[in-house]
Amino acid sequence: MERSVIRLIHCQKDIFCFSVPEECPSCGEELRGSRLQEAPVSLPSPFTNGHKSSCCLLVAPAHDNQNREFDGTSDLHTGISNTKGVVFNYTQDGVRRDQSGWERCVSVPLVRPDTFHLLAQWDQYMDRFSDAPTWDPAWHRFDKDDHNCFSFCLRYVNSVLAAEGRSALTRETFTHSFILPRMKRVSKYTTVYQHIQRHQYYVVDRQEDVTTSVGQ
Ligand SMILES: [Zn+2]
């Protein structure tokens, strides 16, 4: 379903495509056997399978967005995975524990792989946290601005930080340092991807920063 994006460099251009063309789409020179400045590289997709990434904050398009594409404007839905790839996410009906549906999302690791004590307790933390009355629709109403999926994730992250003796993150810090940089990458990648789908190539003047930020 998803093809991988390849980048090659020719005549001072970055050329993004799904397969290496016979001729350079920019200057027309034959590419086969010719001197490419560097071997073509494939760009890593910014998307991951949320059910295969444990202890991550996950960002996905909202459930009512059927085509599940990030177009930069669709509402985002956030959740947190446990060590078994179950995604806990807060909705109007309370906390859902999804075993599927988060196959294509952006993940933000929340735990360093060497913090064994935290990993060992993660699933228990998640269960206990999710069972609190705050997230029970009978006790507390969902609010799309103030008490939503993101509040759930942020409160969870902060409760883990508190248990670790570390200070809490504000909504702004959390958004700006963890979510926005990744969403920017997604949006760049999506732009390039859709352009290739429509026009076969995406060609830009070679600029170190553009290439690296798309490719990271
Ligand atoms: Zn060329």
Q: Divide the 216 residues of the chain into consecutive groups of 10 and give the mean pLDDT of each group.
A: 87 93 91 72 92 94 54 75 96 95 92 85 95 93 88 94 90 88 88 94 81 49
Q: Distance from the CA of 28 to the center of ligand 1, in angstroms?
A: 6
Q: What is the pLDDT of residues 61-109, one digit of tens each?
A: 765 544 445 555 557 889 999 999 999 999 999 999 999 999 999 999 9
Percent of the chain residues past pLDDT 70, beyond the cut: 87
Give DSSP secondary structure letters for the chain. -PPPEEEEEETTEEEEESS--SB-TTT--B-TTS--SS--EEEPPS-B-GGGSTTEEEEEE-TT-TT----SSSPEEEEEE-TTS-EEEEETTEEEEESSS-SSBEEEE-S-TT-HHHHHHHHHHHHHHHTSGGG-TTTS--BTTTBSHHHHHHHHHHHHHHHTT-PPPPHHHHIIIIIHHHHHHHHHHHHHHHHHHHHS-EEEE--HHHHHHHH-
Q: Distance from the CA of 39 to the center of ligand 1, in angstroms?
A: 14
48 Cβ neighbours under 8 A, 6+ residues apart: 56, 105, 106, 107
**pLDDT number for residue 31:** 84
Q: Distance from the CA of 168 to the center of ligand 1, in angstroms?
A: 51
Q: Distance from the CA of 7 to the center of ligand 1, in angstroms?
A: 13
Percent of the chain residues past pLDDT 90, beyond the cut: 56
**pLDDT number for residue 216:** 42
**pLDDT number for residue 73:** 53
Q: Distance from the CA of 188 to the center of ligand 1, in angstroms?
A: 23
Q: What is the pLDDT of residues 165-176, one digit of tens each?
A: 889 999 999 888
**pLDDT number for residue 66:** 45
Domain boundaries along the sequence of the chain: 5-43+196-215, 50-169
pTM greater than 0.85 (yes/no):
no
